[in-house]
Structure 1
Amino acid sequence: MQSSNTSTSSVTAESPCIGHCTTVLGDDVCRSCMRTFDEITRWIEMSDDERIAVNQRVADLLKQG
């Protein structure tokens, strides 16, 4: 059986939300998931490709330290 995930990347379209959103405190970027307010509010409307792009941006940001 072939895996449905043929990509070698570990970045997925799953939400990085951990339930501690700081945008409700006025932050432009959530300190927990590192997504912008716009990315958070649009998440349910985004395609998988858009979600993966957001998650890749966050992963790259976290690698930079």
Structure 2
Amino acid sequence: MPELYTESPEESEVLLKSPCVGFCSTTFGDPVCRGCKRLVAEVDGWNLLTTEQQQQIWQRLWQQTVIIVRQHIRISDPLRLQNQLQRFAIRHHPAAPAEVLAMDLLRAGSEKMQQLQAYGIEPLTEFNDLSPARLFNRMNRMLYEAAISDQS
């Protein structure tokens, strides 16, 4: 898989300094955060990690997200996806792959979305019957399960 973290830390950290999505379950004893999918040690020690160590974590999270998202949706219009993130001021990493941006968009708005095509993304045929919220929840659950199994 190609290098996903392509911008220098100075450029990317302006908008997003950590993978945190504001829903941390490690405070309740989970070994992996249900929000950002980092290990508890990565959450607790994020600010003590070197830039290289942080980039490695971003890479791992993004690679897993790309794999799972591609099993469920297709990015039909990357520019429209990017425009929607900006239009709704959705927090995202500027160097993230489109699949990660799609998850950011779904995390923020899947409960309100009707037609995913309006956002530059389309469910694969076998998931056409799922609402955007159910589709997001399915992918999010799979990401959590993958993070748990990677931790073991």
Q: CA RMSD in A?
A: 2.1
Runs of 4+ displaced beyond 4 Å:
10-13
The answer for the alignment partner of 1:28 in structure 2 is 31
Q: Identity, % of aligned pairs?
A: 29
TM-score, normalised to structure 2, is 0.34
The one-letter code sitting in structure 2 at the alignment partner of 1:58 is: L
The answer for the alignment partner of 2:46 in structure 1 is 43
SS of 2:45 mapped into structure 1: helix
The one-letter code sitting in structure 1 at the alignment partner of 2:32 is: V
The answer for the alignment partner of 2:18 in structure 1 is 15
The one-letter code sitting in structure 1 at the alignment partner of 2:38 is: R
Aligned length: 58
Structure 1 stretches lacking a partner, 5+ long = 1-7
Which structure shows the bigger proportion of residues in helix conformation?
Answer: 2
Q: Take 2:44 and 2:26, find their aligned partners in 1: how far apart are those partners?
A: 10
Residue 52 (1) aligns with residue 52 (2): no
TM-score, normalised to structure 1, is 0.74
Q: Take 2:18 and 2:61, find their aligned partners in 1: how far apart are those partners?
A: 11
- What is the CA-CA distance between 1:27 and the residue it aligns to? 1.2
Q: Take 1:9 and 1:58, find their aligned partners in 2: how far apart are those partners?
A: 15
Q: Take 1:35 and 1:59, find their aligned partners in 2: how far apart are those partners?
A: 11
- What is the CA-CA distance between 1:64 and the residue it aligns to? 2.2
Q: Take 1:29 and 1:41, find their aligned partners in 2: how far apart are those partners?
A: 11
